[in-house]
Structure 1
Amino acid sequence: MSEPDDADVIEQVPRQVNFPAVPGLRALRGVTGTGRRRIVAIAAACALIVTAATLVTFRLTEGPRTDPALARLVTEVTTVPVGTSAPGLPVLPASASADGASSWTLIVSNTLSPVSGPPLTGSGKPEVFYVATEYCPYCAMENWPLIVALSRFGKFTGLATSRSPRFEHIAPVDSWTFYGSLYTSRYLFFVPVERYSNVLVNGEANPNAGRSYRVLQQLTPAQKALFAKYDKSRATPFLDFGNHAVEIGSGAIPSQLMAGKSWTQIAAALRQPKTGLGAALLAEADSLTAELCVLTGNRPASACPAFLQNAELPY
C-alpha cells in the first residue's frame, strides 16, 4: 500500500492544564498553545518553497564539528535538571515579543492524547516509539525537549547535529538526529525511526514532497501498522508512549523563537528559563517527562518529583 507524504504542520488546540502547588512555588493554571497550525498534506502543507541555497546536498555544514565541542554540547543538553519549568515559571504568550512579555501563561504539550491497545514494550520495558524526518522543522523543534526528557531516564550515545531545510515561511532549525544513535535505560526502551534525511535526492527533486529526500530508515510492518492506527494523516513528529498515550506534532514551541538560533544558543536557552525560548523548551520537556513517569511508575525519583507525579495530564 502506498503511503502519503508526511504532513508536518499540525493543528495546535489550546487546552487548560493545572500543575499543583509545590513548596516555594504557587500553583499555576495555564492555557497551552501559541496559536493554530493548520493540518495540510506535505505536498500542499509544506506549500513552501525551499530556497536555492538549501538545495546543496549536505546534512551538516555549520555548528559544532570537533568531537570535544560536540561532547560538551551533548552534555549540556542531556543534563538539564527536572523542574525548571515548574509552576511559577513565566512562559512567553503568543502575542508577546521574545524577551519583553508583560503577561505570562504556562505552556505544555497540547498534542498528547490517550490511546488503548496492548502495552508496547521492548526488552521487558515500556517502549517509546518515535517517528520523525530530518527535513521536518517541527521534528527538529521537538527533538530538543525529547532528548532532555529521555536523558532523565537513560543515556544517549551517538547523537549527531542536524538542520532542517529553509522553507518559505519557516527558517532552518538547528537540531539533532537520532539516526545512528543509541539509547540505554533501566526504565525505558526508546525506538526512534528517522524516515528521511534533510538531503534531496537530486537538484531537481521537489523539496515539498517527503520522498524527495534520501531514505534513512524504513518502518517495520508492525511499526507501520501502529503509526497508521494512531496517526491517520501519518504526520511527523509522532510519539507513542507505550500505547498509553500518543503525541502527534510538536509541543507548543513557537518556531519564531528558534529562528536564527545556533545549537549553542538553543542549548544555552535550556539554562535560561526566564527567556521565551528556554521557557517553551523546558515546559515541553517537563510535559514529556510527566508522561514518561507514568510509564515507569515514577522511577527514577530524580526524574519524577512530586509536582510531575501529581500533574493533571490532558486526559
Structure 2
Amino acid sequence: MARRVEQKAAARERIAAQLAAQQAAERRRRLLLAVGAVVLVVVIVGGLVAIRLAGGGKKTATGASGSADSSLVTSLSSVPDSAFSTVGSDGVKAAPSAITAPALTASGKPKVLYIGAEFCPYCAAERWPVTVALSRFGTFSNLGTTHSAGADVFPNTATLSFHGATYTSQYLSFTGVETKTNEQEGNDYKPLDTPTAEDQKTFDTYNKPPYVPSPDSIPFIDLGGKYVGSGATYSPEVLAGKTQAQIADALKDPSSPIAKAVLGSANVYTAAICKLTNNQPAKVCSTDTVTAAASKLGAGKS
C-alpha cells in the first residue's frame, strides 16, 4: 500500500515537472517571438531611414528651405571692395546687352526686373551675382533660401529665392518673380508667383531675338529698359555640392572659382546699374573695376 502511494506521488511529480518544463518552453518561445518582432521593426525602420537619406535612389527637390539668416544676408552685402577689384570682369563670358526701349521704372526710379523659377539651375546660379550687385545699391529683406530641382541638370544647386522678398533703395527699385517652385506637379512644377501684366509684357517683348539669343529663356533680367539678359552668366557647376553659407563664405576669397564667377558677374551687373543711377553712389560707380566692367555690356539692339 505504501509503495503504491509512493508511485502515485512520483508520477504526480513527473507530471508537474513536465508541465513546468512545457510552460517554461512556451515562455521562451513567446519571448523569442517578441524580440524577433522588435528586431524586424528596427531593421525596417532603419532601412526606410537609409533610403530616405540616400534619396530613395532618386534625387528629388523639396520646397524652399526657409528664410536667409542675417549672417548670410550680411555676407552678401559686405563683400570687401578688394575682392571685387581683384576678381574684376576679365573672366566674364556672358553679359546683359544694351537695348533701345522705353525706360523701365517704378515709383519714379529705374527698375530692375528679374523673372525666373526656383526649379531652374541657371536661375539658381544667377541669383547670387544679381543679389550681390543689388546689395551695393540697397537692402534686401525676407530673402529666401532654396535649391534647384533634383531632377534637372546641375541638381539641387543651393541658391536664394526672391519669392516674398522686398528691396529698398534710394537709387532704384527691384521686382523679383519666381514663377514656379522646385516641387514637381505632374510633368511640371507647382506654380508660385504670377508676373503683373506689365512685367509679363516686358518679358514677352524683350525675351527673344534680337534682344537675347533664345526666346523665353530664364532667368530673364531687364535693367531699367537699357539692358537685358537671359540665362546664366556662368555655369551652375561652379556651385555644385556647396551650401548657401559655403557659397557666401567663398566670396571672401577672390582666388576661389565661386568668387571669380559670382563677383565677376556682379561687377558687370553693377556697371549696368550704374548706367541707370547716373553713376550713383559714386563710391561704387566711380571705381576702376566698375568702369572696366562696363566694357563687357553688349552692344545696343533695337
- Stretches of 4+ aligned residues off by more than 6 angstroms: none
Distance 1:276 1:260, change over 3 A: same
Q: Is the 8 A contact 2:115 2:177 kept in 1?
A: yes
Which among 237, 242, 261 is matched to residue 219 of structure 2? 237
CA 1:57–1:167 in structure 2 vs 1: closer, same or farther (change >3 Å)?
A: closer
Which AA in structure 2 matches 1:130? Y
| Residue of structure 1 equivalent to 2:137 | 153
Structure 1: stretches of 5+ with no match in the other structure: 1-49, 92-105, 207-211
| Aligned length, in residue pairs | 236
What SS class does the counterpart of residue 100 from structure 2 fall into? coil
Change (3 A) 1:124 1:168: closer
Q: Indicate the residue corresponding to 1:73 in structure 2.
A: 72
The 1:58–1:127 alpha-carbon spacing in structure 2 relative to 1, beyond 3 Å, is closer
Task: Tell me which residue corresponds to 1:179.
Answer: 163
Q: 1:151 to 1:119 in 2, by over 3 A?
A: same
CA 1:52 to 1:185, structure 2 compared with 1: closer, same or farther past 3 Å? farther
Alignment of 1:24-39 (within 5 A): none
C-alpha distance 57-301 of structure 1, shift in aligned 2 (>3 A)? same
Q: How many angstroms apart in 2 are the aligned matches of 1:159 and 1:109?
A: 28
2:64 corresponding residue in structure 1: 59
Indicate the SS of the match to 2:146: strand
Whether contact under 8 Å (2:271, 2:291) holds in the other structure is yes
Q: TM-score, normalised by structure 2?
A: 0.72
Residues 1:221 and 2:197 aligned together: yes
- What is the aligned-residue identity percentage? 36
Task: With the length of structure 1 as denominator, give the TM-score of the two structures.
Answer: 0.69
SS at match of 1:298: coil
Match of 1:254 among 232, 235, 238: 235
Whole-Å separation in 1 of the counterparts to 2:177 and 2:133? 18
Aligned counterparts of 1:74 and 1:291: Cα–Cα separation in 2: 22
CA contact (8 A) 1:90 1:274 kept: no
- For 1:41-190, list aligned pairs within 5 A: 53-55=58-60, 57-60=62-65, 70-82=69-81, 84-86=83-85, 89=87, 106-108=90-92, 110-167=94-151, 169-190=153-174
Deviations 1:242-279 (A, max 9, x none): 1101011111x232221101111101111011111211
Q: Partner of 2:298: helix, strand, or coil?
A: coil
User: Which has the higher Rg, Structure 1 or Structure 2?
Assistant: 2
Q: Choose which of 265, 271, 293 in structure 1 pairs with 2:252.
A: 271
Contact 2:60 2:151 in 1 (8 A): no
**CA 1:177–1:51 in structure 2 vs 1: closer, same or farther (change >3 Å)?**
farther
Counterpart AA for 2:124: A
Q: Larger helix proportion, structure 1 or 2?
A: 2
Give the Cα separation in 1 of the matches to 2:237 and 2:151. 13
Q: 1:51 and 1:115, CA in 2 relative to 1: closer, same or farther beyond 3 A?
A: farther
